[in-house]
């Protein structure tokens, strides 16, 4: 029983569109509270063409409920699940930065190479977030069995301060939270998914480790070796393409780092890392065992120099000059535009 409850009325002013994904749209917004309180947040809403489909709505709400209790420095924090005019929305931590796809595009445009140590550092932070999520339990201590299933360049954010954040648990698998059709449909981005995902098999936390290995290889090489001309070719490469000697592709990749990559990308689950903690340990030992290694500040300095003055503002798409207000109360909810 609650000691007491607090009921209040608040609203969000949406000021600009930040990102459009496959099923959702993310906006920047200002949350307004009492006595001129203002907090900048991100608002995620489901795309209109999915808003009438029951399974997508249930999974959107399930994602919010799942991530609400995932409180970790390497996972984007969820603040609030709300509804206005019958449409659900999620209020989340606003990351002042870019995702890895935008980050590597800027590297290409500026003809820069990502230092090996920073590639390992970024992946180690992804592994930290995964280790936390995989180990999460419910209030009774029962494992939730979370599998992200979409660890990819678009779903890893780097803040301009250097923080690395895993985001978008929209197709995650977790007991009791999301409707799952695993074995019947394939979920995830074809060139980042694990072989078991690509083959319509049931996945566990080791699937995310394979995807983290693809992220690491992509950061080191500047390309995804599994990306094909279409989704079918990418899935075929994930399942059948020989895993290369990465040292032959980039001389910076020494024997130990090559072993880590092969340990992540092993198709036989018996030879893949059992859990993200093991991957995190090997990555961190690799960059820190000789002494000082990269930090959030190191990465932040690199990304701010890479983006220059662009780092002072978030990449965005304007909302056409409109401010959209989402207002909730104890008895009513509506959109004001």
pLDDT by residue, tens only, the chain of 337 residues:
556 655 556 688 888 888 877 677 889 999 888 888 899 999 988 777 766 777 777 777 777 777 788 899 999 998 888 877 777 788 889 999 999 999 999 999 999 999 999 999 999 999 999 999 999 888 888 888 888 888 999 999 999 999 999 988 765 554 444 455 544 444 568 899 999 999 888 889 999 999 999 999 999 999 999 999 999 999 999 999 999 999 999 999 999 999 999 999 999 999 999 999 999 999 999 999 988 899 999 999 999 999 985 555 554 444 444 455 565 543 333 333 3
Structural domains in the chain, CATH included, are 10-95+314-336 (3.30.200.20), 97-309 (1.10.510.10)
Structure tokens at 110: 């500026």
pTM over 0.75: yes
- Give catalytic status of residue 259 as yes or no: no
- Can you say whether residue 332 is alpha, beta or left, with left for phi > 0 and alpha for psi between -120 and 50 degrees? beta
3-state secondary structure of 328: strand
- Residue 268: the pLDDT is 95
Q: How far apart are CA 230 and CA 222, in angstroms?
A: 19
- Residue 282: the pLDDT is 98
Q: Name 28's bridge partners.
A: 16, 42
Q: How far apart are CA 147 and CA 275, in angstroms?
A: 11
- Residue 58: the pLDDT is 75
- Residue 1: the pLDDT is 53
Spot the catalytic one: 138, 150, 163, 245.
150
3-state secondary structure of 143: strand
Say if CB 213 and CB 283 are below 8 A apart. no
- Residue 34: the pLDDT is 84
Q: How far apart are CA 2 and CA 20, in angstroms?
A: 38
Q: How far apart are CA 246 and CA 259, in angstroms?
A: 9
Q: How far apart are CA 55 and CA 224, in angstroms?
A: 32
- Residue 255: the pLDDT is 97
- Residue 326: the pLDDT is 60
């Amino acid at each position: 029983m609650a000691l007491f409850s607090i009921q209040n009325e608040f609203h969000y002013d949406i000021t600009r569109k930040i990102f459009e994904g496959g099923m959702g749209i993310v906006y920047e917004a200002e949350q307004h509270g009492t006595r001129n309180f203002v907090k900048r947040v991100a608002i995620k809403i489901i795309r209109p063409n999915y808003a009438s489909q029951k399974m997508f709505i249930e999974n959107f709400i399930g994602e919010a409920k799942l991530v609400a209790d995932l409180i970790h420095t390497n996972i984007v924090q969820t603040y609030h699940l709300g509804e206005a005019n019958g449409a659900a929305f999620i209020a989340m931590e606003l990351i002042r930065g870019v995702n890895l796809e935008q980050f590597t595009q800027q590297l290409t445009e500026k003809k820069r190479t990502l230092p090996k140590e920073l590639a390992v550092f970024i992946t180690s932070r992804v592994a930290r977030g995964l280790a936390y999520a995989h180990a999460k339990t419910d209030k009774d201590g029962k494992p939730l069995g979370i599998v992200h299933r979409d660890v990819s360049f678009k779903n890893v954010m780097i803040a301009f301060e250097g923080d690395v954040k895993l985001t978008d648990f929209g197709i995650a698998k977790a007991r009791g939270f999301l409707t799952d059709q695993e074995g019947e449909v394939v979920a995830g981005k074809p060139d980042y998914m694990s072989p078991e995902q690509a083959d319509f098999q049931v996945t566990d936390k080791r699937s995310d480790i394979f995807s983290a290995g693809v992220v690491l290889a992509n950061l080191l090489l500047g390309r995804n070796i599994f990306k094909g001309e279409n989704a079918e070719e990418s899935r075929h490469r994930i399942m059948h393409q020989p895993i290369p000697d990465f040292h032959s592709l980039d001389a910076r990749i020494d024997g130990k780092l090559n072993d880590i990559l092969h340990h992540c990308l092993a198709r036989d689950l018996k030879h893949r890392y059992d859990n993200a903690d093991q991957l995190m340990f090997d990555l961190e030992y690799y960059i820190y065992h000789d002494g000082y290694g990269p930090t959030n500040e190191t990465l932040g300095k690199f990304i701010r120099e890479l983006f220059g003055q662009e780092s002072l503002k978030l990449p965005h798409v304007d909302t056409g000059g409109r401010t959209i207000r989402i207002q909730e109360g104890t008895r009513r909810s509506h959109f004001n535009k």
